[in-house]
Amino acid sequence: MSNLIDFDDMLTMANKVLKSQSVLQAVRSMYPYLLVDEFQDLNNLQMDLVLRLQGDVGRVTAVGDERQSIYGFRGASCESNFKTFLDSFVDADVARTKGTPGSLVGSMQSLTVNYRSHKSIVDLGNVVARDTAGDDGLLVRLRVPLQARATAPVVPVSVCYNATAHKEATSIADKIKYLIDSGACRPKDISVLFRFLKFGQYRPSGRIETELMNLGIPFVVRGGASLMSTRRMQNFLALLGLLANRSNDIAMRVCVTEFVLHLGPVYWRRIEGMGPDSNGDGSLFRKAERIVSTTKIPKKARESLGHFLATVKGWVSDMGEMTLMELVVRIYTDFVMDASIKAKAKTRFARKAAAAEAAADER
C-alpha cells in the first residue's frame, strides 16, 4: 500500500520536488507560460503550484469566475486564491512597474457579456451577486455586472422559497402541471436543473421525481440513473396509483400497456372512445370493465384484460386484511418485472388464465 498515491499526493509531491531550484528552473524552461482555467476551483495545493512556478516571474494568466465556485466541499479556496493572485500578480506588479508600458503590466480584465442566458436571468444574477457581496471589497471588485446579448422577450424569472425539500418538490411539480394543463408548455419544453444528480447516497432529484410521478407527468432524467425513473419502478408506482384511485387514467394507460397482453393500440382506442356509463363514470378502468363483456375486442385481449381488472379489484378487497408491506410485496411479486416484462407477462397471464378456466370448468 505504501507504493500507492492519490491525486492530492501527486500535488503534494510536485510541490516538494519544485523546492529544488534546478528542477524548478528546468520546468520553467519547458513551460515558460502558465494558463490556469477554472481558477475558482483550485485548492490550496494547486494554488501553491501556481505560486511556486510563477511567483517571481509573473507569466501567468488565470481565467475564472468567483460566482461559479462549486467545489468548496472538496477544498477549493476561491476567495483566498483570487486575493492571493491579485496581490501577487496584478496589484504588486502594477506597484513595482510604474513607467512600464501598460501592455507589459499585470492587469485584471472582466468579461462582461453573457452569451448563455436571457436578459431576465442575467439581471437576476446581477442582483443576487450585488446583494450577497455586501461591503466585501474583494467580492465587489470581482463581481462586475454582466450584460446579456439581445434576446427575444421571455417570462420574467421568479425566485421562490420553500421551508423544506418536500415542499420545494411539491411546488415545482405543481408548477409544471399547471404549465402543461394550461397549454403553455409541453412536457419536453420543461427542464429542472440540478447542481448534481447524486452525492453519495443522496439524490436531490428523488423527491421531484416522486411528485411528478404522483401527478402522472412523464419525465426523463439526463446525466444519471435514477431508481425512481426505471421502467420497473414506474410500472410499480402506476399499479399503486391505480389501486389508490381507479379513476387514475394515466396509471391505467401505463398498466394496460405493460401488463395486458393482446391489446394493441387499435383495440385500446376503442376503449378510450367509449362514453361514460349510466352513472356518468367515464374512467378508463370502468370502460375496460364494460368492454370485457362485449365482443368489441378479441377473446384473448378480453381474457387478459379481464384477469388484470379482477386482480386489481382483488387487491382492493384484500387491503383490509393485509399490512401495507404485504400489499406492496404482493403487487411487486405479481406484476413488476424487468426488461423481459412482455415475455414473463405472457407466461404468467397464460398460466393464470388457464387456472381460471380450469376452476370455471370445475364449477
For residue 289, the domain's CATH number is 1.10.486
Question: Considering the domain boundaries, does residue 154 fall inside one?
Answer: no
Ranges of the chain with pLDDT below 70: 1-3, 73-76, 92-105, 151-155, 196-202, 224-230, 335-363
Given CA atoms 12, 15, 16, 17 in this order, what sign does their dihedral have?
Answer: positive
Instruction: Tell me the C-alpha distance between 178 and 357, whole Å.
Output: 47
Same domain for 174 and 144? no
Q: Which runs of consecutive H residues, i.e. helices, occur in 31-185? A: 44-54, 78-85, 92-96, 119-133, 137-142, 165-181
Cell matching residue 274 = 367509449
Backbone angles phi, psi at 6, to 5 degrees: -110, -175
Domain assignment present for 1:
no
For residue 221, report the phi and psi dihedrals to the nearest 5 degrees.
-95, 120
pLDDT of residue 89: 87
The reply to whether 153 falls in a domain is no
50: domain CATH number? 3.40.50.300
277 plus 349 within the same structural domain: yes
Q: Residue 314 is part of which domain span?
A: 165-362
Check whether residue 338 and residue 266 sit in a common domain.
yes
322 belongs to a structural domain: yes
173 and 124 in a common domain: no
Is 103 a domain residue? no
CA distance 97 to 23: 29
Residues 25 and 66 in one domain: yes
Q: Are residues 52 and 133 in the same domain?
A: no
Name the residue type at position 172: I
Determine the pLDDT at residue 280.
93
156 in a structural domain: no
What does the pLDDT read at residue 33? 92
**Do 210 and 258 sit in the same domain of this protein?**
yes
Query: Do 144 and 176 lie in a common domain?
Result: no
Is 109 a member of any domain?
no
Same domain, 274 and 316: yes
pLDDT (0 to 100) of residue 195: 72
pLDDT reported for residue 319: 82
DSSP helix/strand/coil, 265: helix
Does residue 172 sit in the same domain as residue 26?
no
User: So what's the pLDDT on residue 338?
Assistant: 39
In a domain, 104, yes or no: no
Quote the CA–CA distance of 277 and 290 in Å, as a whole number. 9
The whole-angstrom distance between residue 248's C-alpha and the CA centroid of its chain comes to 26
Q: How many distinct structural domains can be found in the chain?
A: 3
Q: How high is the pLDDT of residue 257?
A: 87
Task: Choose among 82, 23, 81, 92: nearest CA to 57.
Answer: 92
Specify whether the CB–CB gap between 77 and 47 falls below 8 A.
yes
192 and 311 fall within a common domain = yes
Per-residue pLDDT of 199-221, as tens digits, reads 556 677 888 988 998 888 888 88
21 and 129 inside one domain: no
pLDDT at 1: 42
Rounded Cα distance, 5 and 12, in Å: 10
Gap between the Cα atoms of 181 and 179, Å rounded: 6
